[in-house]
Amino acid sequence: MFNYKKTCFSLLIAATAMTTQAEIQLSGEVKQGGLIIGKTKANSLVTLNEQVLSVSKNGDYVFAFSRDDQKEYLLKVVLPDGSIEEKTLKPAVREYKISRVEGIKKSIMNPNKKANLRAQKDREMMVAVRKISSDLVDFSQGFIAPRKARITGVYGSQRFYNGIPKNPHFGVDYAGAIGAPVKSPANGQVLLWVPDMFYSGGTLVIDHGHGITSNFLHLSDSLVKEGDKVKQGQVIAKVGNSGRVTGPHLDWRMNWHSVRFDPQLALKIKAIK
């Protein structure tokens, strides 16, 4: 009986339109810096423009838009029965906070040769880590804030130091004294712990699967080591003032591979049942 019904249903799908809009199940905001999770049937092929996305055995997939993304995307899902679902996505444009800071010390403005070499090594390490795409599907459960504390810096904001534009800020900064607890925003696995990167100081990277990582900067210590599995809400590190900072705080950044998205938008994601 069950099989008979299933067959009838497939035939019905095949007899109607082969390509359908709006069937696609997504959670997240289609805007610059937004994180999107999707759910489809197992063994579907999902592409975002030309890029093939990883699909978990339960049909979960994920992608994100960068800070200044102006592109239009075609999300295409080819289901196991051959039917196709499509959706056009155009991330909404955002306005970011711009601020000007004068009187920055020259040593920070122009790091010396040794510092540059160290920073280059750090960057290469982070690039390598962001290429990793594990089978974890911890991103699909959503995220919680790593601290219950005042937010002192937001994603996308940009500073001009002594009139010179710096790289935009890609994290969310939380207030905190040295040693204050940092919780894992979701389940995951520790990919990297480096206590002394040049700019970001104590740097911890947690893998949530399919190229989604949480990055914690300026830490004074980590309570976990590379390879450890972590649970959502578990205290994993301590706030610090390591690296190039003006004072202790937590900087939480999130990546989908090399795409940096807004952790505050990730907090709004709801798991798709």
What is the smallest separation between the CB atom of 161 and Zn ion, expressed in angstroms?
Answer: 14
Alpha-carbon distance 147 to 185, whole Å?
9
The residue (of 46 and 180) whose beta carbon lies closer to Zn ion is 180
Q: What single DSSP character describes residue 138?
A: G
Alpha-carbon distance 69 to 36, whole Å?
14
Residue sitting closest to Zn ion (CB): 251
Cβ atoms of 269 and 143 within 8 Å: the answer is: yes
What is the strand order of the sheet 181-183 is part of? 181-183, 235-238, 221-222
The residue (of 85 and 173) whose beta carbon lies closer to Zn ion is 173
* Residue ranges in contact with Zn ion by CB under 5 A: 153, 171, 173, 251
What is the smallest separation between the CB atom of 53 and Zn ion, expressed in angstroms?
Answer: 29
The residue (of 69 and 173) whose beta carbon lies closer to Zn ion is 173
What is the smallest separation between the CB atom of 242 and Zn ion, expressed in angstroms?
Answer: 13
What is the smallest separation between the CB atom of 47 and Zn ion, expressed in angstroms?
Answer: 34
104 class by beta-carbon count within 10 Å (0-12 exposed, 13-18 middle, 19+ buried): middle
What is the smallest separation between the CB atom of 81 and Zn ion, expressed in angstroms?
Answer: 47
What is the strand order of the sheet 158-161 is part of? 98-101, 158-161, 164-165
The residue (of 118 and 244) whose beta carbon lies closer to Zn ion is 244
The residue (of 39 and 67) whose beta carbon lies closer to Zn ion is 67
